[in-house]
Amino acid sequence: MSEIGKVFTGAEIHDGTHLHSGKVLALMQDGSRRILTPEEVPESTATEGLAAGVLCPGFIDLQVNGGGGVMFNDAPDVATLRRVAEAHRATGVAALLPTLITDTPDKTEAAIEAAVSAIAEGVPGIIGLHLEGPHLSLARKGAHDGALIRPMEAADLALILRAATLLPNLMVTVAPENTSSAQISAMAEAGVIVSLGHSDADYETCMAAFDAGACCVTHLFNAMSQMGNRAPGLVGAALERDGIHAGLIADGIHVHPASIRNALAAKAAGIFLVSDAMATAGSDITSFTLNGREVFRAGGRLTLADGTLAGADLEMGRAVYTLTHAVGEPLETALARAISGPLALLRNHMGLGRIENPDQPLVLYDPESGAVRVLG
């Protein structure tokens, strides 16, 4: 075993799945990290004491529309992805799926090329791509541009299947109203993470889509058919069906804490955190444009002029804080929903989610405030 270079003391340690108390994190001279007991550390070892908090691997965010003052849709190129990833890394995010919101076929092709190039160039934090639309439901479009929403055609499917061969991870959000079961099956068989979202489909249609290969739901509760006493909708289907994952925007605005508690009680495994972050992440801008429409930032909300929510003004640390303080979930599980939870969906983990991996950021999370400090 390599010799110890330095140890962090005074903080609890979360390895991505489990919380360890009474341990130290050793930075080995060969660059690796190890969780050790204090008794395993020689007295002469250099020590950095941390007043409190939890050391953990960087967060994984599978829905990031922008950051650092820019939107991916506005300029789907490597420079934008680098800027977005840098902005989110400062908030503790080790890796993300840049997300293209409903747009034109040309923009979709450009986004795929940008993600492929960014990964080839080794842009830190970019691990694939999330295409959220345009094959969604007009009835549940939210802030997406209804003029660009349309059914999936053969050319769209061919483009997605090609992208799946080029990217380590590809997530596609669709509504079953505008996507056939055969198309969902073809994507799933190609390794695409097919997620249902922005859908007004009924329970039976959603269950059929799961049967076809859809394995996830995009921002649970938001922009989808709700659970009623006679019509369970997409929410009911997602919470009932085993093996289905669901992203959750835990900002206390998109979903009421009581609804989150009910969802976690119904589906303890499979729910993970997303930021659904926009250009405001990691910046102090107060407005930006989305498909030519102005989005306003105020009071922790991002809205169009008519009040429609347009993404979230949220960082992953605050999402974890919402789960622990407003919802009442244990810290160990809440942190896992920001690290190992999303990783469970990925086709290629790329070494993420392990505190022992020195290539990933080391985060100090403050459970009392939700604040994050990136140590390296």
Residue listed under structure tokens 């289905």: 244
Kindly list the strands in the beta sheet with 293-298, ordered across the sheet, starting from the edge strand earlier in the chain. 287-290, 293-298, 301-303
By the 8 A CB rule, do 123 and 350 touch? no
Distant-in-sequence, close-in-space partners of 285: CB < 8 Å, separation ≥ 6: 69, 279, 297
From residue 296, give the alpha-carbon distance in Å to each of 83, 88, 236, 249, 304. 21, 20, 32, 18, 6
Write out the two tokens for 255.
């979903």
Torsion sign across C-alpha atoms 321, 327, 330, 332: negative
Place of tokens 């049967």: 211
> Would residue 242 show up in a list of annotated catalytic residues for this protein?
no
Residue 4's SS3 state is strand
Dihedrals φ, ψ of 208, to 5°? -65, -35
Catalytic residue among 15, 61, 202, 276: 276
Helices (H), 190-339: 203-212, 233-240, 257-266, 316-321, 331-336
Task: Say whether 331 sits in a helix, a strand or coil.
Answer: helix
Active site residues per annotation: 276
